[in-house]
Amino acid sequence: MRVQVAEQQLTPTVISTFAGCGGSSLGYHLAGFKELLAVEWEDNAVATFRLNFPDIPVYHGDITKLSSAECMRLAGIQKGQLDVFDGSPPCQGFSTAGNRKFDDPRNSLFKEYARLLEEMQPKVFVMENVTGMIKGHMKQAYLQIIQTLRDCGYQAKGQVLNAMYYNVPQSRQRVIIIGVRNDLGIQPSHPKPQSKPMTVRDAIADVHDTDAPPLPDWLKKACKEIIPGHWNGPYMMNIFKKYKGTSGGALSTKLLSWDKYCCTLPKTEIAHSCIIHPDGERRLSIQELSRLASFPDSFNFIDRPSSVERIGNSVPPNLMKAIALHIKENILLISSA
The CATH number of the domain where 35 resides is what? 3.40.50.150
Residue 335 lies in a domain: no
Our CA dihedral for 208, 212, 214, 216, rounded to 10 degrees, sits at -150
pLDDT in tens, 58-68: 999 999 999 99
Residue 146 lies in a domain: yes
Residue 174 lies in a domain: yes
Mean pLDDT across the stretch 301-305?
89
**What is the rounded distance in angstroms from the CA atom of residue 270 to the CA atom of residue 272?**
6
Residue 134 lies in a domain: yes
Confidence of residue 103 (pLDDT cuts 50, 70, 90): low
Indicate the range of 13-22, 83-92, 169-178 predicted with least confidence: 83-92
**173-181 and 154-162 as β-strands: parallel, antiparallel, unpaired?**
antiparallel
pLDDT number for residue 90: 73
**What is the rounded distance in angstroms from the CA atom of residue 304 to the CA atom of residue 313?**
14
**Residue 98 Cα distances to 27, 93, 133, 317, angstroms:** 28, 7, 12, 25
**Do the Cβ atoms of 48 and 99 come closer than 8 Å?**
no
CATH number at residue 279: 3.90.120
**262 secondary structure, DSSP code:** B
Mean pLDDT across the stretch 170-181?
96
Residues 6+ apart with CB under 8 A from 20: 40, 42, 45, 49, 88, 310, 313, 314
Q: What 3-state DSSP class applies to 91? A: coil
Mean pLDDT across the stretch 123-145?
84
Cβ-based neighbour number of residue 298 at 10 Å: 10
Same domain, yes or no, for 230 and 100?
no
pLDDT number for residue 305: 83
- Give me the half-sphere count of Cα atoms (radius 13 Å) on the Cβ side of residue 309: 11
DSSP H helices in the chain: 23-30, 43-52, 68-75, 109-120, 139-151, 200-204, 217-223, 233-243, 286-292, 304-313, 317-330
Q: Which residue has the higher pLDDT, 138 or 158?
A: 158
Same domain, yes or no, for 290 and 318?
no
Question: How many distinct structural domains can be found in the chain?
Answer: 2
| Identity at 143, one-letter amino acid code | L
Same domain, yes or no, for 294 and 326?
no
What pTM did the predictor assign?
0.91
Same domain, yes or no, for 160 and 268?
no
pLDDT number for residue 7: 42
**58-60 and 34-40 as β-strands: parallel, antiparallel, unpaired?**
parallel
Residue 1 lies in a domain: no
Same domain, yes or no, for 173 and 44?
yes
pLDDT number for residue 99: 54
Buried b (16+ CB within 10 A) or exposed e, 201-218: eebbeeeeeeebeebeee
Q: Which residue has the higher pLDDT, 165 or 267?
A: 165
pLDDT in tens, 193-237: 999 999 999 999 999 877 888 899 999 999 999 999 998 889 999
Same domain, yes or no, for 145 and 184?
yes
Chain centroid to CA 76:
27
Q: Is 284 left (phi over 0), alpha (psi -120 to 50) or beta?
A: beta
Same domain, yes or no, for 57 and 162?
yes
Is pLDDT at 22 greater than 80 in this prediction?
yes
pLDDT number for residue 294: 98
Same domain, yes or no, for 318 and 288?
no
pLDDT number for residue 101: 54
Is pLDDT at 320 greater than 50 in this prediction?
yes
Q: What 3-state DSSP class applies to 218? A: helix
Indicate the range of 24-33, 129-138, 157-166, 272-281 predicted with least confidence: 129-138
Same domain, yes or no, for 218 and 294?
yes
- The catalytic residues are 91
Q: Which residue has the higher pLDDT, 244 or 270?
A: 244
**What is the rounded distance in angstroms from the CA atom of residue 91 to the CA atom of residue 264?**
15
Same domain, yes or no, for 23 and 170?
yes
Same domain, yes or no, for 144 and 242?
no
Residue 3 lies in a domain: no
pLDDT number for residue 328: 98
Residue 257 lies in a domain: yes
Domain range spanning residue 99? 13-196+314-330
Same domain, yes or no, for 189 and 269?
no
Q: Is 136 left (phi over 0), alpha (psi -120 to 50) or beta?
A: left
Mean pLDDT across the stretch 181-197?
97
Is pLDDT at 100 greater than 90 in this prediction?
no
Q: Which residue has the higher pLDDT, 313 or 133?
A: 313
Residue 324 lies in a domain: yes
